[in-house]
Amino acid sequence: MKHENERNEVVDYLRRMLVARLTTGSGGNISIRISGTDHFCMSPTGIGYDAMRPKDVVVMDGEGRVVAGKRAPSSEWRMHAAVYAARSDVGAIVHTHSAFAATFACLREEIPPVHYLIGFAGRNVPVAPYATYGSEELALAAAETLGRDHNAVLLATHGLLAVGHDVGMAFTVAEEIEFVAQIYWQTRAIGTPVLLSDEEMQRIIEKFRTYGQQIPTREEISPAAPTSMIAGSDSPGDEESER
């Protein structure tokens, strides 16, 4: 089976997403770029995470053609393709319907720097304008709002999209931003959150960047660079050409 490692990881992280309560049922989806190409492994639609096997994971090219696998890709594959096209530094994407992030997505309010861990995403987590799930319009809105400076974006009245240089980092971004969203919700429920200044966020992002000089293993991941870790981290060696 081609790209067995990536397909295994897609299934593994979908299950982790359920365990971490970042989604319910078969909501959300995950993709992993085939290093050095515009191809990516995409979670399939219409199959529960418990029953899913690596062979069910679909391999797609940048135009959205299925190049390996028998299943249909997640209906939200366009969003993944658009982000890979816009960001060569992105190696994996985790899309969740996690409750606290989705709460702010439904309010269509960005998450501000209420806790320093927002640095995983950037200075804030912006909201992409609403568009129907699975649409090209949503794909473009998500990629544009993510821009080059963010590693996470809220999708209006929908959920969260998180990116990283690998799937471990994209998953960590999704988890940490869900935590920050919960903290933001709680602080607003009982008081007025005190936000970090632009200057302090600059310092934090710089510190994250320094950690990022060495790419941590998944087990070592603690506050790490949202941008620079990702930039230039393409790992050579596991490329395998399709067709």
Of 27 and 112, the one with the shorter C-beta distance to Zn ion is: 27
73 burial via Cβ count (<10 Å: 0-12, 13-18, 19+): buried
Number of H helices, E strands in the chain: 6, 8
CB of 170 to Zn ion, least distance (A): 15
- The dihedral through the CA atoms of 98, 99, 104, 106 has a sign that is positive
| Residue 76 appears among annotated catalytic residues | yes
Q: How many residues bind Zn ion (CB under 5 A)?
A: 1
What is the token pair recorded at 9? 């990881």
Binding string, residues 139-178; x marks residues near Zn ion by CB under 5 A: --------------------x-------------------
In the complex, which residue's CB is closest to Zn ion?
A: 159
Of 69 and 159, the one with the shorter C-beta distance to Zn ion is: 159
Place of tokens 């640095």: 119
Binding string, residues 107-146; x marks residues near Zn ion by CB under 5 A: ----------------------------------------
d(C-alpha 143, C-alpha 195), whole Å: 26
Of 45 and 187, the one with the shorter C-beta distance to Zn ion is: 45
Kindly compute the dihedral angle of the four CA atoms of residues 136, 122, 5, 36, in this order, to the nearest 10 degrees: 70
Catalytic residue numbers? 76
Interface residues with Zn ion (CB under 5 A) are 159
